[in-house]
Amino acid sequence: MTKQKSGGLGRGLGSILPDIDLEVNRPKTDTISTVPVDKVTANPFQPRKEFEEEALEELTQSIRQQGVITPITVRSMPDGSYQLIAGERRLRASQRAGLKEVPAYIRVATDNQMMEMALVENIQRENLNAMEVALAYRSLIEECQLTHEELSEKMGKNRSTITNYLRLLNLPAETQLALSNDLISMAHARALGGVEDIERHLEILHAILDRHLSVHETEQMVKAGKKKPKVAVSRRGELPDTYTSAQSRLKKYLGSTVEIKRTQRGKGTLTIAFNSDSDFDRIVALLEK
């Protein structure tokens, strides 16, 4: 029995789009044909928002020398044009290379199927970053009205995996940006997801970026923040050591009885006794020094 790769999406385009015949004078599904480059329009459901310029230029040079090895996938439109389903990098590189036609699979697909296939093809071939995957999953859920369970079945992923990606969309914008730019990993982001206090959350994020914290170190920092510091609480009527020490110093300096009373909340009174008017004047003079 062949084992399924753990890193792959789990299902290919064929599991989403069944083989069916196209209209008259069109090739059948999975039949390779050539289509004019200028008649292919972009996929409106493309989850990838940015393409690396260097990688795109390398592909352009390869196509100039070898041609398009892997056909793009398109669907036929009523006006005679074609709408791209999968292979936007190949199409862009073909346009740069000056090709007039490209090999293509011409398929029949609904909008929902196009969205699903664009997601599958990109995750399998182009390594979308975690935020792009999360946004694509949300689009599928909202546009196709799917539950997390239904989406997990379509994508061949565990439901928990789908949920973990969608949780990334609840992170602060600064954390999402760091994840999009590969400054932190998804594991870092998941650890940060447990920090609800925004100031503490960003404090840990900046620590990760500045000190290059590992995931384990990040998790330890998150746990440390959740532990409430132990505060020494004195028994009722008993003064903390700092207060009793100050009381003794004042008594010695003023040469008089000094009494300090303090509540559990830190409020209190400071009482200095005097025996006569002249004693009062003496104490005031000492306090004014």
Catalytic residue IDs: 88
Q: Which of 116, 121, 158 is nearest to 137 (CA)?
A: 116
Is there a contact between 81 and 39 (Cβ–Cβ < 8 Å)?
yes
Q: Within a 13 Å sphere around the CA of 133, how many CA atoms are in the beta-carbon half? A: 25
E strands present in 14-107: 32-36, 40-41, 72-76, 82-86, 101-107
- Please tell me the distance from the alpha carbon of residue 129 to that of residue 178, in angstroms, as a whole number: 11
Classified as helix, coil or strand, 134 is helix
- Please tell me the distance from the alpha carbon of residue 147 to that of residue 172, in angstroms, as a whole number: 24
Q: Distance from first CA to last CA of the chain, Å, rounded? A: 92
| Torsion angle, alpha carbons of 140, 143, 149, 151, to 10 | -30
Is there a contact between 37 and 102 (Cβ–Cβ < 8 Å)?
yes
